[in-house]
Amino acid sequence: MNKHLIDLSDNQTFANGFPHEFFTWLRENHPVYWHEPTNITPDGEGFWVMSLYDDINSIMMDAKTFSSDKAGNRTGGGTAIKDEASAGKVLNQTDDPLHRRLRELANKGFTVKTIGSLEDELRTRTKRLLNSIKVGEKFDFARRIAREIPTQAICIVLGVPEDDRIHLCELIDKGVEVNSGSVIAAEYLGKVRRYAQALIEKKRAQPGDDIFSKIVHAKFETDGSTLSDFELRSFFALLFPAGAETTTRSISGGMLAFLEHPEQWRRLRYERELIKPAVEEIVRWTTPSVYKRRTATRAVDFRDKTIRPGDKVTVWEMSANRDERVFESPFEFNIARSPNRHLGFGAGVHFCLGAALARLELNIVFDEILLSELNFKPAGTVEWMPNNRLVGVKTMPVRVASRN
């Protein structure tokens, strides 16, 4: 690999998984690296690439200097390499005071108690799914198991009726599959938006006991107002990529890690109390939300470089989570790792809203696989998503060797 020519804006760079070798080299040689513009970066701009844990953590903790929304008179903060049309409007792409406003009400739905109350339903669904699998059967773990539980979890959170779920997920999948920004993608997204609007109206008139109903009806303490339709629709649309795609990739990447490190699976089988640190290690290992982008609002020095106001700064949590300066043997998958201060869920004011739910889902899925005593074996080539944003396994054929 020519380390100097790697293009991080090109999804194909991620077609075989995360380019760890390049980032190890960056951490060692160019921790504050200027990525030249490429013909793939749509705005024709270069961007900084931050790869060290400490730098990334301090950038995420300083939302004033590193804006998720916009900087100075420049629009287009967003969290992806390319400027997002939603910058400045959606929870993860706003700064205070708007961010605080949106988050205040979202937090009212995502309490520890409410998330905990989802456990029984998610466990029952996982059990049912695993019971349907037969010894000798070969199937795609990514699609049949890893995708199913997180998608169901988001639908439960949003109070999407059971009968609508398949159709809604098809629309969302198609919107993601076709080129983003294309006319067809816009058509699918339009359909999703219309669905969301109808659901919001339904929840307004007749609240259910789902989290979304709580958020629809939640009132600001200051003036008693509620979130607008636009804010609610944006939140609805955000939860599928932010909540379902990420957790799906953690589950499939976690299973892949266990297949590649069978001694860790055996250990978990005999030391079940390790499930909690195992879940943290799976999130560190897979880091499905691999990077974020911020925009500098003022000049700031990092090591021997000066970042100028308006510069785009990308922070690569996947690299932070393999930083040799912070993690002992970072390329070892170790379910008992302690301490494990990974940045898989981010840091600071944008810290993952759904972290408790993601942890619960991962806990349930791996715990139930152990309980089911299903023994998965690799049964074909693993394919990765060619995507620089949500890196992870796309297809993972497995065979059920036995029920122990």
At position 56, the amino acid (one-letter code) is I
CB of residue 58 to ligand HEM, shortest distance in Å: 13
User: Whole-number minimum distance, CB 202 to ligand HEM, in Å?
Assistant: 20
Decide if 126 contacts 368 (C-beta within 8 A): yes
Minimum Å gap between C-beta 308 and ligand HEM is 21
Distance in angstroms between the alpha carbons of the first and the last residue of the chain: 43
In degrees to the nearest 10, what's the CA dihedral of 300, 303, 306, 307?
-60
Residue keyed to tokens 């030391």: 271
Q: Quick one: 133 or 155, whose CB is closer to ligand HEM?
A: 155
Q: What are phi and psi of 140, to 5 degrees?
A: -90, 110
Tokens of 227: 């979130």
Q: Under DSSP, is residue 34 helix (H, G, I), strand (E, B) or coil?
A: strand
CB of 352 to ligand HEM, least distance (A): 3
Judged by the rule CB under 6 A, the positions of this chain that interact with ligand HEM are: 60, 68, 79, 91-92, 103, 154, 157, 238-239, 242-243, 246-247, 250, 283, 288-289, 292, 317, 344-346, 350, 352-354, 357-358
In terms of CB distance, is 264 or 286 closer to ligand HEM? 286
| Minimal distance, residue 284 CB to ligand HEM, in Å | 10
Min CB(354)–ligand HEM separation in Å? 2
Q: How far is the CB of 29 from ligand HEM (least distance, A)?
A: 26
DSSP string of 224-273?
-----HHHHHHHHHHHIIIIIIHHHHHHHHHHHHHHH-HHHHHHHHH-GG
Query: Among 361, 349, 357, 364, which Cα is nearest to 109's?
Result: 357
| Of 71 and 239, CB closest to ligand HEM | 239
Q: Least distance from C-beta 94 to ligand HEM, angstroms?
A: 8
Sheet containing 291-296: order of strands: 32-35, 47-50, 312-316, 291-296, 66-67
Cβ atoms within 10 Å of 78's Cβ, excluding its own = 25
Q: Which is nearer to ligand HEM, 10 or 104 (CB)?
A: 104
Nearer to ligand HEM, 236 or 400 (CB): 236
Beta bridge partners of 402: 375
Instruction: Output the six-digit token pair for 228.
Output: 């607008």
Q: How far apart are CA 226 and CA 219, in angstroms?
A: 5
Distance of alpha carbon 291 from alpha carbon 297, whole angstroms: 19
Q: Cβ distance 21 to 50 under 8 Å?
A: no
Q: What is the DSSP string of 288-329?
A: SB-EEEEEESS-EEETTEEEPTT-EEEEEHHHHTT-TTTSSS
CB 319 within 8 A of CB 257: no
- Cβ distance to ligand HEM smaller for residue 358 or 365: 358
Distance of CA 349 to the CA centre of its chain: 16
Query: Please, what is the minimum distance in Å from the beta carbon of residue 99 to ligand HEM?
Result: 6
The crossing angle, in degrees rounded to 10, of helices 355-372 and 119-131 is 40
Nearest approach, Cβ of 84 to ligand HEM (angstroms)?
Answer: 11
CB of 282 to ligand HEM, least distance (A): 8
User: Measured from the CB atom, is 118 or 130 closer to ligand HEM?
Assistant: 118
Considering the complex, state which of residue 175 and residue 346 has its C-beta at the smaller distance from ligand HEM: 346
